[in-house]
Amino acid sequence: MTRPRIAFLNRCYWPDVEATGQLLEQLCGALSTDWDITVVAGQPNKNLSGEAFVRRGQQQRDGVTIDRLPHTTLPKRSKLGRLINLLSFTWQTRRWGRRVPAASPFDVIVSESDPFFLPIVAAPIARRMGAKFIVYTQDVYPDIAIGLGVIKEGMITRQIRRRLLAAYQQADQIVVLDDDMRDRLVGWGLPPEKFSIVPNWVDTEAIQPLKSANPFRVEQQLDDRFVVMHSGNMGMSQRLEVLIDAACRPDWPDRAVIALVGDGARKAALQAYAAQRDAKHVRFIEYQPIQRLTESLSAADLHVVSMDANIRGCLAPSKLYGILASGTPVMAIAPEEFSIAREIHTHQVGRAVPPGSVSQIVDYVRWCTEHSNELQASGENARRLAQTRYDRRIATQQFADVLEVVCETDRRLSPIQAT
């Protein structure tokens, strides 16, 4: 039997360290035994591993063909530079689509949302090839930028949404991360039956609880502390100033410390704000390589996932799944109607507090420091939820099921290929 050929289009892929690239690498690795997988990718922003890679053209890695496109790589700290990079990659993707013969061997084109306007050029590529078309979206633009106050709703945003809507309407399936994201896009005018929900995932074998003799806690001198951790991107959507405000309250528990682990566009501003507030209970820790995620995530007694109240359905906090796998309870700073808040409440893995509510953050942290048995039970629930709902094998099989429906095939991932 001829194996169906799938082309994934996404700027970010190995050896980049960004989450979408890592997730796509894991997905393609899981699919590659029963499907011929090509990833059309851009230049990495960071190659922390130092592994050699082909900067232009094709290479094979772990059963996947990587077709690396050349494009501008201006510094990300410049908004204009970032935009030029994304437009440059999109233009090169369009050229790639024109170079591939019309009688293409690709059966399915899967367009991710890095950059968000990529489906606009991917739809005609799929149509020209006569291939099935899937949109796999990790975030919803321009809505997220409007919600964060980066731009205002107007003629340009409406035009972008119209162009994206036209591309989404051509898709055979749209894969989203949760029901909030589906509901937002249904609100654009798309039919509910066009959607499949496949959450992001975690490798629960690679990330496991390590609550005793944790080297990361020792290195960071956290052994005698109650650690409230935010791990990952420090961007605009997280609104992390509220944690610094909470840690500066006189009723903040003295042995509790906020650990902000990672990097991001707002890190420097947060560091300046913490210095201005003389926040002695706040520490900034550098980004940790993926090989140390078990140690760094397990070093927390309580993890924080923070979402701006105005971006419901625009993205899903993928950091949640690693947190759950580490067996650590979660404090979600999010409105109670958000999907993450409902999930935390339903499965008893922590608590949601309203955005901006400094007093409720302090109250919950204090409660956690005084109720170790209940906190341990929440951590055990978290680990169980990761294993039964968000494990990589489960989620990648769900994506394979979408491909099977679109291609009208019946291919199941074996336990070996899903690892």
* CA–CA distances in Å: residue 218 to residues 102, 209, 282, 376: 59, 16, 17, 21
Residue 258's DSSP bridge partners are 228, 282
Look up residue 309 and give its amino acid: A
Give the pLDDT confidence of 387-410 residue by residue, as tens digits: 999 999 999 999 999 999 999 854
Beta bridge partners of 285: 261
pLDDT at 362: 98
Q: Where are the beta strands (DSSP E) in 309-349?
A: 330-333
What CA–CA distance (Å, rounded) separates 195 from 213? 45
Arch. (CATH architecture) of 5-201+391-407: 3-Layer(aba) Sandwich (3.40)
Q: How far apart are CA 152 and CA 93, in angstroms?
A: 29
DSSP code per residue over 16-32: --SHHHHHHHHHHHHHT
How many Cβ atoms sit within 10 Å of the Cβ of residue 254?
10
Cβ atoms within 10 Å of 416's Cβ, excluding its own: 7
- For CATH 3.40.50.2000, the residue range(s) in the chain are 5-201+391-407, 215-389
For the segment 291-341, what is each residue's pLDDT rounded down to a tens digit?
A: 899 999 999 999 999 999 999 999 999 899 999 999 999 999 999 999 999
Q: What is the pLDDT tens value at each position of the chain, 419 positions in all?
A: 578 999 999 999 999 888 899 999 999 999 999 999 999 999 998 776 778 889 999 999 999 999 999 999 888 778 888 899 999 999 999 999 999 887 667 999 999 999 999 999 999 999 999 999 999 999 999 999 999 999 999 999 999 999 999 999 999 999 999 999 999 999 999 999 999 999 999 999 999 999 999 999 999 999 899 999 999 888 878 889 999 999 999 999 999 999 999 988 889 999 999 999 999 999 999 988 888 999 999 999 999 999 999 999 999 998 999 999 999 999 999 999 999 999 999 999 999 999 999 999 999 999 999 999 999 999 999 999 999 999 999 999 999 999 999 998 545 554 444 44
Contact 220, 259 (CB under 8 A): yes
Separation CA 222–CA 218 (nearest Å): 6
Indicate yes or no: pTM above 0.85: yes
Q: Is 57 left (phi over 0), alpha (psi -120 to 50) or beta?
A: left
Q: How much is the pLDDT for 414?
A: 46
- To the nearest 10°, report the CA torsion of 28, 29, 32, 34: -100
As beta bridge partners, residue 39 has: 8, 66
State the architecture of 215-389 in CATH terms.
3-Layer(aba) Sandwich (3.40)
